[in-house]
Amino acid sequence: MLHDAHPGIVHMKGLARSYVWWPGMDGDIEETVKACEICQMSRHAPTKAKVHPWEWTTKRWSRLHIDFAGPFQGKVFLIVVDAHSKWLEVSLMSSMSSYAVINTLRLLFATHGLPDVIVSDNGAAFTSTEFQEFADCNGICRVNTAPYHPSSNGQADRMVQTTKEALSRITQGEWQTRLARFLLSQHVTPNSSTGKSPAELLMNRRLTTALDRLHPDH
């Protein structure tokens, strides 16, 4: 169950420590990942350059980093990550237009509220008059990073890579099922930089998963 979404050694250990313990757990996890052909095939190359050192914001859902991932396996996704909690949203997109991006963001804002800042690259969807008017009408400050340098939008760039790796490992089911499995795993796994899961930092609670059903009280 810990290995279900193929999260990798570090995240798998973090997830395990949130729910269970057994003698030699770390070693067993390492061996499981090393023996998994899917995990080994999708390992990413070392980072070529350091990502932009954005400050960690103390306010949840205040600064969002957004970017497109894809085309990947014939699909395009919109990546949205909260700089405070590392909460990730991945939406399957029908197009890369400003109209499509705005409609997707409206749904997210209906759940989490409006952010203060949106960081993006200089893609056409994010620099159009339509997107600028949408941001202005909602009192959102836009920050555009340097063109052709995705690492300058470090938060989103990392999540684009993470999403592609995860979806290349999760091959069973339709796209919505694959996305849901990946996102649930991301939301409940403690982040290495914050020490807490995105759900704990954004919602101030732990999300219930199938791993919670292992507790004897249940």
**pLDDT tens, residue by residue, 136-153:** 999 999 998 755 444 455
Bond into 53 cis (ω within 30): no
Q: What is the pTM of this model?
A: 0.75
**52 neighbors 145 (Cβ within 8 angstroms):** yes
| Helix/strand/coil for 133 | helix
User: What's the pLDDT score for residue 57?
Assistant: 78
- Residue 147, burial from CB neighbour count under 10 angstroms (0-12, 13-18, 19+): exposed
If you compute the radius of gyration of the chain from its CA atoms, what whole number of angstroms results? 18
- The pLDDT of residue 45 is 52
Choice among 65-69, 160-164, 172-176, 185-189 with the minimum mean pLDDT:
160-164
- Whole-number pLDDT of residue 150: 47
Distance of CA 6 to the CA centre of its chain: 15
Residue 52 confidence (pLDDT) = 52
Rounded to whole angstroms, the Cα distance separating 149 from 146 reads 6
Residue that wins the pLDDT comparison between 37 and 53: 37
pLDDT in tens, 149-169: 444 556 667 777 777 777 777
